[in-house]
Amino acid sequence: MTVDQASPVFRARRISKVYRMGEVDVSALRGVDLDLFAGELAVFLGASGSGKSTLLNILGGLDVPTDGQVYYRERELTAADERERTDFRRKSVGFVFQFYNLIPSLTALENVELVTEIADDPMPAIDALRLVELEPRMHHFPAQMSGGEQQRVAIARAIAKRPEVLLCDEPTGALDYATGKRVLEVIEKVNSTLGTTTAVITHNAAIADMADRVIRLRSGEIVEVYANPTKKRPDELSW
Amino acid sequence: MTILNRKVFRELARMRGQVIAITLVMACGIMVYVSSRHTYIALLESQESYYTSYRFADVFAGIKRAPAPVAERIARIPGVSSVRTRIVMDVNLDVPGLDEPAIGRLVSMPDVRRPVLNDIAIQEGRYPAVGRPEEVIISEAFALANGLVPDAWIGAVINGRRKALRVVGIGLSPEYVYEVQGSGSIFPDNLRFGVIWMSRDALGAAFDMEGGFNDLAVALSPDARERDVIDRMDLILEPYGSAGAFGRGSQISHKFLSDEILGLSVSSNVTPTIFLGIAAILLHIVFSRMVRAQRDQIAIMKAFGYRNLSIGWHYLKFAFLAVSGGTLLGIVGGFWIGRPLTGMYQAYYRFPDLVYELHVDVITLAAVISVFAALAGTLHALRSAMALPPAEAMRPESPPHFRPLAMERMGLHRMLSPVWRMIFRNMERRPARTMLSAFGIAMSVAILVMGRFTFDSIDYMIDYQFRTVQRDNAAVVFAGPRPARARFELAHLPGVVRSEPYRAVPVRLRAGHLVKQTAITGLDPAGELRQLIDRDGRVQSLPPEGIVLNKTLADLLAVREGDMLAVEVQEGSRMRGSLPVTLIVDELIGTTAYMDSRALNRFLGEGRTISGAYLSVDPLRAAELYSTLKETPAVAGVAVREAVIKGFEDTIAESTNATTFTLTIFACVIACGMVYNGARIALAERNREMASLRVLGFTEREISVVLLGEQAIITLFSIPIGFLIGWALCYLAVDATAQELFRMPLVITWKTYAFAFLVVTSAAVASAYIVHRKLRYLDLVGVLKTQE
C-alpha cells in the first residue's frame, strides 16, 4: 500500500483540550499539529495520560477540542455540529476500542450488520467477518467468544462500512500476547488490502515497528514524529 | 449520621426520578385505601346510628285495608317488639314551577308527635300542628330539587279530590335514605317523587280509613327469627289483601344503601391492592437493578467486615424511605379527599348527619400495608445482596448471556433489523421484568376501563330500558281499574299522539317452592310503546296466550319457556290459576311479567278493564298535557320518561367526571411510573451499548429507538391485555352486583377502550420523552474507556 504524502486525510492545527475535573482544569492536549496521510498506518505511542486517546477521539469526531482546528479532507470538523459529526462517524470512520464494545444481544454477524445497515456503500457483513477470519463463528453471541475473537468482530464491524480511516484505541490492551498479535495481523491486513488509513494507539512500544509512521506523545504534546523504513509484519513483533 | 445512612440519602437523591415514581404510585394506593375506607366507615356508622336513632323497622308489609285490631294480633307474634300501623298512599302532586305532575307518597304520622318506628328527622321547620290537616312535612331531597321551603304550598289529588297542602317542615326518614318510588324505578328522581308525611287523622279521613290501616312496620326483638315472624304475619294479613311481608333485605332504600356500602367495602380493598401491588413491582424492578449495579460496593462493604444483616438493613432503609413519602402523602391526601367523596354519596343517599372523622386504626393499617408492600417489593433484591459472596461481588457481573431464543427458533429474527433484534432479545432475556412491566401497564389500562365501564353500562341500561323497551314518553296510572273506554278519554287529551292502555294486576307467582311477588302487565297486542326483546336481541311479538317473564324473574323462579306457573291474584277476586310461560324477554330493570291484555282480562274473569296507559306525547304540547293530567282526579300518577332520564344523567355526569378525572390521574401515575422506570433502568444498564452505537454513527433518534423501543413494545403489548383484564374485572363486578332491582349489562364502549388507550400511550410517551432527553448527555468517551 502506498502512502500519499501529498493528500492528508486529517489536518490538525494547534489543537488543545482542557478538561474540567471538579474544580481543576486539566490540559489533555496542548497545541498539537498533526497530519495523517491517506493509506498510512500510524502508531501513536505514549504513556497513560499523554493525550493520545483524546487526540484520537477528536480526530474521530467523538470529542471537540477546546481550541484549534481539525480538518478532515476539506471539511472543518471543529466547525461541525453534533449532527454533522454523527454523520461523519457514520460514513467515514471505523473505531476499535480496548474493550470491544460489542452489543451483547447481537451475534457476531449482527453486530456487523448493525453498521452495514446504516452505511452508504458497505461490504457484505459476511465478507468483513471473512477478512478477520471469523466466518465460522458468525452466529455466536459475544458472551460465547474469546476476547481476541470479540476484538476481531469489533474490527470487522469497524471496517464493514469501508471507512476511509480506522481508529484503534489500545486494540490489544485487554488481550494476551498471542491473541494480541492475531488482532494486529488483522489490522495490518485491513490497512494493506483495503488501503484504509489506520491509526493505532498503544503504550506498547514494540507495536511501533509495524507502523509506517510513529507519533510519540507526552503530557499532551507531540514530542517526536518519525517514519519507519523497516516496517515489520505483526508476527515478527515481540514484547 | 452514619456513613451508610449518608449513602442512603445521597443515592435516594440521585435516583429521585425513580423514587418519585414509586412515591406517587404508593401515594395513589394508600390514598384510595384511606379515602374509601373512611368513606365506608362514615356511611356504615351513619347508617347504623340513623337506623337506631330513628327506629328503622325490621319487617314491612303493605295491605289493602285492615282494621286496627289486626295490629294487636301482629304484636302478639313471638319476636315482635313493636308495631306501627300506617296509611301510605301514592298520589298525584301539583308542584309549583314543575310542568309535569309529580308523585307524592303520603305517609301517615301520629297527630301528636311521639317516637315511632321509621320516625322523621326534621331538618327544618316543625311537626304539623294538631287540628291542621293541611300541614305536612316533605322529604329533603324533594324539597331541595323543587326549591320548596316551609310555608310553600303544593297541590295534591287525594282520593279524587284536589287538596292544597302547606309545607311546615323538611324531614328525612331511615325508610327513604335512597328515595325511589318502587321496584320499577331504580334511580332517584327527586324532582318528581317525594315523601310527604301528614297527620293520620287527615289521611284516614281522606281515604276512608279511619280506624284502619294499609301499611305495617314491625320491629323485632334481638332473638327473633325474621323468617318465622314474616310467615306468621302473612297468615294473619292474608285476608286483608297483603302483598306479602318482607324484611329489611327487601326494603328498597335499605337494599340500595347496603349494596352500596358492601360494594364500597370490596372496592376499598381491591383497588388499593392493585396500586400497592404495582408499587411493589416498581420497587422490585428498581431495587433489583440497584443491587446489581452496586455489586462492587456490596463486596467492599463485606470485605471491610459489614455483616450480611447490616447490608440487608442498609438496602431495606432505601425501600422504607422510598415508600414513606408516598405513604404519608397517601394518608394525608386520602383523608382529605375522603370528605368530598363521602359528600358525593349524599347526592343519592340522605342522612341527617354524615359523620366523617379520622380513624387511627385505618391510618395505622395503611402504614402497615405500605411496609409490607415495601418488604414484598424488595425481598428478592435484599436476598441477593445478602447472599453475594465478597469475592464474587468484586468481579463484575458476568456478561449478559444471550442465546438463540424463541424468536430464533421460530425464524422470526430474519424479518427484523439488528436494532429490533436487540430490542426483542433484551425483552426475552429478562422475561420476568418484561412481564412485570407489562402487567403494571396493563393494570393502568384496566383501571381506566373499569372506571368508565360503570357509566357505559348505566348509559346502555338507560338507553336499552327507556328507549328500546319502554318507548312511551309518559305512563299514566289510574287510581284504580277503569273500563276500557277510558283510553279514548286519554287519547283526546291535548298533545297525546298515541295511547296504549295496559292492565296491571299484583300477583304472586309460584313455581314449585319458589315464590315471587310482582305484577302482571297486560299489554295491547297491537301496541308499539312496549317492545318485547328476547335474549338474542330480537323484537318479539306478544304471544296471544300464556305469560311472558323477563329474564331476572324467570331466573328467580327457575322456569323456562313452556313451564307452568301458579298465579295468585292479589286484588279483587283474589283468584288462583295457572299459566304457561310462553316467552322470556331480556330486560335490565325490575322483575316484570307481561300478558296479552285480552288474555289477562279473560284470566281475571273481567270485562275489558285497564289500569292506565302508555302515551306518546307531542313535545310541543307536553306542558299543556301534563297540567291537564295534574288536574285529573282519576289519574293517580304520571311517570315522565325523558325527564327522569335527563335528571338522572345530569346527576350521574357529575360523579362520572369526578371519578374519571381521579382514575385518569391514577392510571397516568402507574403508566408513567412503569415506563419511566423501565426506560431509566434500560438506560443505566445499556449506557455502554448506547454510547457504542453513537460512536458507530447512530443518531440520537436511532439509539432512542433501541432504548425506548422496548418500552413501546411493552406498552403496546400491555394495552390489549389491559383491555382483557379490565373486561374481566367488569365481568366480576357485574356478577357481584346482579340483583333483583336491576342487572348491569356488561357493556364497554369503544370510546372507553380508546380513552384508556390514549391516556396510557400519552403517559408512556411523556415519560419516555423525559428519558430520551437524557440520551443527549451520554458520555461517549468516558463509557468506552472503562471496562463494564
pLDDT score at B552: 86
By Cβ distance, the residue of B418, B694, B786 closest to A106 is: B418
Residue A7, pLDDT score: 77
Residue of A nearest to B399 (CA): A143
Instruction: Encode pLDDT of B300-313 as tens digits.
Output: 777 667 778 888 88
Q: Confidence class of residue B739 from pLDDT cuts 50, 70 and 90?
A: low
Integer CA distances (angstroms), B711 to B405, B564, B673, B757, in order = 20, 61, 12, 15
Decide if pLDDT at B515 tops 90: no
Q: Which is higher by pLDDT, B307 or A45? A: A45
Give the three cell numbers for residue B225.
327469627
Query: Picking from A223-237, B57-71, B131-145, B272-286, which range would have the lowest pLDDT averaged per residue?
Result: B272-286
B103 has which bridge partners? B92, B193
- In this complex, the residue of B404, B418, B781 whose CB is nearest that of residue A114 is B418
Enumerate the residues of chain A whose CB falls inside 8 A of the CB of residue B426. 105
Q: Which residues of B5-19 are buried (b: 16+ CB within 10 A; e: fewer)?
A: eebbeeebeebeebb
pLDDT of B516 over the 60 cut = yes
pLDDT, position B391 = 63
Give the per-residue pLDDT at B76: 94
What type of residue sits at position B620? Answer: L
Residue B275 buriedness (CB in 10 A; 0-12 / 13-18 / 19+): buried
pLDDT at B717 (0 to 100): 92
Residues in chain B within 8 Å Cβ distance of A118 = 696-698, 702
Q: What is the pLDDT of residues B168-220, one digit of tens each?
A: 999 999 999 999 887 566 778 888 899 999 999 889 888 888 889 999 999 99
All three cell numbers of B73, joined, read: 294480633
Q: Residues of chain A whose C-beta is under 8 A from some C-beta in B? A: 53, 57, 60, 62-63, 83, 86-91, 93, 95, 97-99, 101-106, 110-111, 113-115, 117-118, 139, 141-143, 157, 169, 174
pLDDT of residue B699: 86
How many residue pairs from chains A and B have C-beta atoms closer than 8 A? 92
Asked if the Cβ–Cβ distance from B399 to A143 is below 8 Å, we say yes
**pLDDT class of B404 with cuts at 50, 70, 90:** low
Confidence of residue B664 (pLDDT cuts 50, 70, 90): confident
Q: Which amino acid is at B250?
A: S
Q: Which residue of A has its CA nearest to B697?
A: A90
Q: Does residue B715 have a pLDDT over 60?
A: yes
H or E element that contains B198: strand B193-199
Average pLDDT score over residue span B476-482: 83
Q: A105 and B401: CB-CB below 8 Å? A: no
pLDDT > 80? residue B399: no
Output the pLDDT for position B429. 80
Q: Which of B573, B636, B571, B781 is nearest to B694 (CA)?
A: B781
Cβ pair B696:A89 closer than 8 A: yes
**What are the contacts of A13-16 at 24+ separation with CB within 8 A?**
A13/A68, A13/A69, A13/A70, A13/A71, A14/A67, A14/A68, A14/A69, A15/A55, A15/A58, A15/A65, A15/A67, A15/A68, A15/A69, A15/A70, A15/A78, A16/A65, A16/A66, A16/A67, A16/A68, A16/A220
pLDDT digit string (tens) for B321-370? 888 999 999 999 999 999 888 888 887 899 998 888 999 999 999 999 99
* Complete DSSP assignment for A19-85: EEETTEEEEEEEEEEEEEEET-EEEEE--TTSSHHHHHHHHTTSS--SEEEEEETTEEGGG--HHHH
The percentage of residues in chain B with a pLDDT greater than 90, rounded to a whole number, is 35
What does pLDDT average to over chain B? 86
pLDDT band at B50; cut points 50, 70, 90? very high
Say yes or no to pLDDT of B141 above 70. Answer: yes
pLDDT value of residue B767: 87
Q: Which three cell numbers stand for residue B717?
A: 403489548
pLDDT at position A28 over 70: yes
Average pLDDT over residues A53-77: 91
Q: For chain B, which residues lie within 8 Å of any Cβ of chain A, measuring from their own Cβ?
A: 399-404, 417-419, 421-422, 425-426, 429, 688-689, 691-700, 702, 780-781, 784-788
Give the residue-averaged pLDDT of B288-300: 81
- Of B612, B606, B605, which is closest to residue B629 (Cα–Cα)? B612
- Residue in chain B closest to A158 (alpha carbons) equals B696
Q: What are phi and psi of B107, to 5 degrees?
A: -125, 125
Average of per-residue pLDDT values in chain A: 89
- Model pLDDT, residue B115: 92
Say how far apart CA B218 and CA B220 lie, in whole Å: 7
Q: Do A89 and B688 touch (CB under 8 A)?
A: no
Backbone phi and psi for residue B127, each to the nearest 5 degrees, phi listed first: -80, 145
The predicted structure's pLDDT at residue B724: 95
* Per-residue pLDDT at B783 exceeds 80: no
Q: pLDDT band for A206, please (50, 70, 90 cuts).
A: very high
Residue B637: pLDDT over 80 = no
Task: State pLDDT tens for residues B246-257.
Answer: 999 889 899 889
Give residue-wise pLDDT tens across range B11-27. Answer: 888 888 888 888 888 99
Rounded to an integer, the average pLDDT of B488-516 is 88
Closest alpha carbon to B420 in B401, B433, B407, B403: B407
Confidence of residue B453 (pLDDT cuts 50, 70, 90): confident
- At B396 the pLDDT is 59
Average pLDDT over residues B638-644: 76
